[in-house]
Amino acid sequence: MISIEPVAAPGAPLARRNPVAKLAAALLFSFILVATLDPVAPAIAIAVELALLPLFGVRYRVLARRAWPLLVSAAGILVTLVLFAAERSGRVLLEAGPVVVTSGVLLTALGLVLRTFAVALPGVIVFATTDATDLADALIQNAKAPARFAIGALAAFRLVPLLGQEWQAISMARRARGVDAGRNPIAKLRLFVSTAFVLLVGAIRRGTRLAVAMDARGFDAGTPRTVARRQRFTTADALLVAGAVALAAAALTASILLGTYRPLLG
């Protein structure tokens, strides 16, 4: 089952902020950090992100569970760079047969891992603390996103967990018909592709039915929409966005002052 539910404590002061403000804050924070290749700025950013986590009402344990794909990719980056990086500058730290680990390689790898975390964590935090309906509402009301897009995506999103059940049902039906791949990898791939095709056909059919049902209830019929759930963009929300920019800029400034700053471009 794919989890799409928010996990934050509902009353946390920053989790309660307008979803568009949270999204903007996360995007700006990440964008500013992308500008540097050094490990210092991302390290400061991660410290800030983790320090603010309680204000978003997310427990560290929950974050670790949500962010495990990040941990996996970090480990992947580390191993790949340490083993295969072409540039082997710096002091040799370890030499075991063909594997030569130098301080330069280790530093580059560390920088990349930290950047991955610093840039991705804000997004993880936003989606862990934001209800999808609230986000769609705020996108329409505060960011002037077209309702056709925001509500349509929301309705489609609701059908995502069903895909897992469908996949299982289709796979079992094929086995019942005498179709299996055994140990043959090519047969396995063909079975995967054809199962995915049936899943896709089913998803399109269901999506079409949903679109007709939405049409029948007057969706996108040209009448100006009203809103049942009001989303407000307040001073506190503006402060959240400003705060995110200020903190990211501070991390960047620190890295420039410490002389570790390496611009992404140029």
Partner 1 sequence: MGTLSGVILRGFGWRHAGRKRWAVRSVDLRIESGERVLLLGPSGAGKSTLLAALAGLLPEDSGEQEGTVEIDGLDPRKGRERVGIVFQDPESQLVMARCGDDVAFGLENRGVPAEEIWPRVDDALRRVGFPYHRDRPTAALSGGEQQRLALAGALALRPGLLLLDEPTANLDPAGATLVRSAVAGALDADTTLILVEHRVAEALPLVDRVVVLEAGGGVRADGSPEAVFRDHGDALAADGVWVPGRTVPPRRATTAPGDLLLTADRLGLPPRLAPTDLAVRAGEALAVLGPNGAGKSTLALLLGGLLPPGGGTLTASAPLAGRDARTPPHRWRAPALAARIGSVFQDPEHQFVTGTVFDELALGPRRTGRPEPEVRAVVDDLLARLRLGALAGANPYTLSGGEARRLSVATALATAPRLLICDEPTFGQDRRTWLELVDLFADLRDAGHGIVTVTHDAEFVAALADRQLTLARPAPAPGTPDGDRP
Task: Work out how close the CB of 18 gets to partner 1 at its nearest, in angstroms, rounded to a whole number.
Answer: 18
Tokens of 261: 């700053």
Is 245 among the residues that bind partner 1 (CB under 8 A)?
no
Site track for partner 1 across 219-238, x = CB under 8 A: xxx-xxxxxxxx--------
Map the footprint of partner 1 across residues 184-203, applying CB under 8 A.
Answer: 194, 198, 201-202
Q: How many residues bind partner 1 (CB under 8 A)?
A: 49
Look at residue 234 and give its three-state secondary structure: coil
Is 183 among the residues that bind partner 1 (CB under 8 A)?
no
Give the count of beta carbons closer than 10 Å to the beta carbon of residue 167.
Answer: 15
Among 34, 55, 72, 172, contact with partner 1 (rule: CB under 8 A): 172
| One-letter identity of residue 136 | A
Whether the CB-CB separation of 56 and 22 falls below 8 Å is answered with no
Is 72 among the residues that bind partner 1 (CB under 8 A)?
no
Is 176 among the residues that bind partner 1 (CB under 8 A)?
yes
Q: At what angle do helices 40-52 and 19-34 cross, to 10 degrees?
A: 160
Which range touches partner 1 (CB under 8 A), out of 34-42, 50-58, 110-118, 165-173? 165-173
Q: Given the complex with partner 1, which of 103 and 184 has the nearer CB atom?
A: 184
Q: Which residues pair with 33 in a beta bridge?
A: none
d(CA 77, CA 97): 21
Is 7 among the residues that bind partner 1 (CB under 8 A)?
no
Tokens of 173: 């039906």
Q: Which residues pair with 96 in a beta bridge?
A: 99
Nearest CA-CA partner of 111 in 46, 65, 156, 60 = 46
Is 151 among the residues that bind partner 1 (CB under 8 A)?
yes
Among 52, 174, 250, 260, contact with partner 1 (rule: CB under 8 A): 174
CA torsion sign, 237 to 238 to 242 to 245? positive
Residues in contact with partner 1 by the rule CB under 8 A: 131-133, 151, 154-155, 158-159, 161-162, 166, 169-170, 172-180, 182, 194, 198, 201-202, 206-207, 209-210, 212-221, 223-230
